[in-house]
Amino acid sequence: MSFQLRIGIGLVAVSALAALARIGLQGRSPLERDAKTESFAVAFDFAYERANRDASIRFPIPPADAHQRISQGSSGPGAEFGRRFEGDREMGQLALPDGPPVQGVSYSFLAQLQETVVPVPERWSPPSTWTEDLRPFLLPTARIQSDHAEIAALARRLGSGPGADAARLVRGFHAYAVGEVRYTSVPGFADALSALRDGRSDCGGKSRLFVALCRASGLPARMVTGVILEPGSKDTLHTWGEAWLDGRWVPACPTRDLLGRLPARYLVLGRDDARLFEAQGVGRFAWDVRVSGGPGPAVRTGTFLTLWGLVESSGLPEPLVRMLVLIPLGALLVAAARIFVGFEIYGTFLPVLAALAFRESGFWIGSALFFSVLAGGLLVRTLLDPMKLLMVARLSIVMTLSILLLVAVSMVGARLGSRQLEAATLLPIVILTMMVERFYVVQLERGRRAAILIALNTWLLTGVVFATLTWAPTQALFLSYPELLAAVVGLQVLAGRWTGLRLYELWKYRDVILAQQRLIREHAAV
């Protein structure tokens, strides 16, 4: 066995043993689904039209507690990030950069959420007086009209009064908001009184009615604003309530009939009833919450040798760490496709870089941009050919015009509030420019069909890399056990020693191979 083979096999074996040892210590595989724990990559995306030089955006920093762990966040592009406390709530602020009037910025972080169960006690009698920290949650507000006669009358009808069992009251108030107030979308902020009178409201109105009934009965209760995390983008928040029972805050979501349980998909943004996303010094302003992850294995936490440990101990931005960990795996896939299958592609690692860009734009929008840049670059390259320019100057012109195309698409995306189109500028434009030049040369030397086939191979391999790197089990495995990257290096060493035929060659020369095998059999028979 050669030295290179021993190195490759050794790296694979050592990394596999290290991962297995850690799995044994933790008692379960990273691919085992934890139904009560979910990991998500979350981003707040903001699109705005600048109005003055002191423009800024204000947004909540999700609190870290027993229900949710939040990584160090990162902002971009170009925005200056700061944070401050407003009472008990931590808020983030982005000072918006100078530049075109229509732009987009974002704040991203990693969230790991665990299902929280706080059951309602069988019986509980509240104290005669409340501590200072709980008294604010007994007061009426403009949208929680707990002092209104109609709400007080409903509370009495549902059992409120001196000596009433608080646990039974909370169950009754929750059941009323669930069953007697039909869910529907309403404009603006729905209040408790409107929900009671109309018999219908959104999640805010149903939850405010529950909180108002609790406060009208002398029980501390508060609103909670958050997001139900699901892969994709949304521009809506979710609200629910919490009631103070027996020394604990008990969650109550009348919209989904959840009492005493907070699912692992409920990300808490703030425990109050205030507006969370605000902008100053801008004209048009829009926001959405972009989520990836969720279904599938959760990233194991608790040690330095995990994504969480690295992010929390070093303060590095989570998206950067995630990208760095997954790039070597993408490079291995490209190497395997070229060495063992015989894929002919443009650019050594173009599929890896394009797949990483597609994570922001989405695969199909990214693919459309990919082919648009190729088509536009080829058109420019064809128009430049009669000028007989030097290759460096020619490539510079193609790259410049391609960048202008992507910037235009990104500005249209900002205008439309489309984060996927805004991410157009993330495409590896320099490598795409080289791809345009190479396509043109291959078209001249081998024909248009061969050039198009190589372009399709490049796109297809990009899709394979994209699907692998965005697959939840892949991310859970490598982000929980980064020592497996040593195995990736070992496999690359082994692949680099391959001297046999590729699958494409086996198919291309199958008639010759079959004829040779027949001759060998005939010779053996003689």
Residue 183 has what pLDDT?
Answer: 94
Per-residue model confidence as pLDDT tens digits over 313-326: 555 555 666 777 88
Residue 509 has what pLDDT?
Answer: 81
Residue range 31-115+277-310, CATH number: 2.60.40.2250
The angle, 0 to 180 degrees and rounded to 10, between the axes of the packed helices 363-384 and 350-361 is 120
Is residue 251 classed as helix, strand or coil in its secondary structure?
Answer: strand
Q: Which residue in the block uniquely carries the two structure tokens 């929980």?
A: 480
Residues 6+ apart with CB under 8 A from 60: 89, 90, 91, 92, 269, 270, 276, 277
The correct CATH number of 117-262 out of 3.10.620.30, 3.40.50.2300, 3.40.50.300, 3.40.50.970 is 3.10.620.30
Residues 6+ apart with CB under 8 A from 466: 354, 355, 358, 359, 363
Residue 108 has what pLDDT?
Answer: 86
By the 10 Å C-beta count (0-12 exposed, 13-18 middle, 19+ buried), 85 is classed as exposed
**63: nearest Cα among 313, 315, 288, 268:** 268
Tell me the C-alpha distance between 456 and 516, whole Å: 33
3-state SS string for 173-240:
HHHHHHHCCEECCCCCCCCHHHHHHHCEECHHHHHHHHHHHHHHCCCCEEEEEEEECCCEEECCCEEE
Tell me the C-alpha distance between 101 and 99, whole Å: 6
The angle, 0 to 180 degrees and rounded to 10, between the axes of the packed helices 3-26 and 485-496 is 160
Per-residue model confidence as pLDDT tens digits over 328-387: 999 999 999 989 988 888 888 888 888 888 877 778 888 888 888 888 888 888 888 888
Tell me the C-alpha distance between 19 and 297, whole Å: 16
3-state SS string for 277-302:
CEEECEEEEEEEEEEEECCCCCCCCC
Q: Give Cα 251 distance to the centre of its chain.
A: 25
Asked if residues 221 and 211 have their Cβ atoms less than 8 Å apart, the reply is yes
Tell me the C-alpha distance between 519 and 149, whole Å: 100
> Angle at the Cα of 345 (from 340 to 351), degrees rounded to 5?
95
Q: What is the DSSP string of 91-148?
A: EEEEEPPSS-SEEEEEEEEEEEEE-EE-PPPS--PPPSS--TTTGGGGS--SS--TTS
Amino acid in position 359? R
37-50 and 182-183: which strand pairing?
Answer: unpaired
Is residue 417 classed as helix, strand or coil in its secondary structure?
Answer: coil
Residue 128 backbone zone (phi > 0: left; psi -120 to 50: alpha; other: beta) = alpha
3-state SS string for 36-89:
CEEEEEEEEEEEEEECCCCCEEEEECCCCCCCEEECCCEEECCCEEEEEEECCE
248-253 and 200-201: which strand pairing?
Answer: unpaired
- Calculate the CA dihedral of residues 403, 408, 411, 415 and round it to 10 degrees: -160
Domains of the chain by residue range: 31-115+277-310, 117-262, 317-480
**Rg over CA atoms, the chain:** 29
232-234 and 282-293: which strand pairing?
Answer: antiparallel
- How many C-alpha atoms does 380 have within 13 Å on its Cβ side? 23
Tell me the C-alpha distance between 324 and 310, whole Å: 12
Tell me the C-alpha distance between 351 and 464, whole Å: 9
Segments in the chain below pLDDT 50: 31, 33-35, 295-305
What is the average pLDDT score of the chain?
83
200-201 and 182-183: which strand pairing?
Answer: parallel
Asked if residues 329 and 466 have their Cβ atoms less than 8 Å apart, the reply is no
Residue 301 has what pLDDT?
Answer: 47
**154: nearest Cα among 245, 239, 219, 217:** 217
The reported pTM is 0.65
Residue 62 has what pLDDT?
Answer: 93
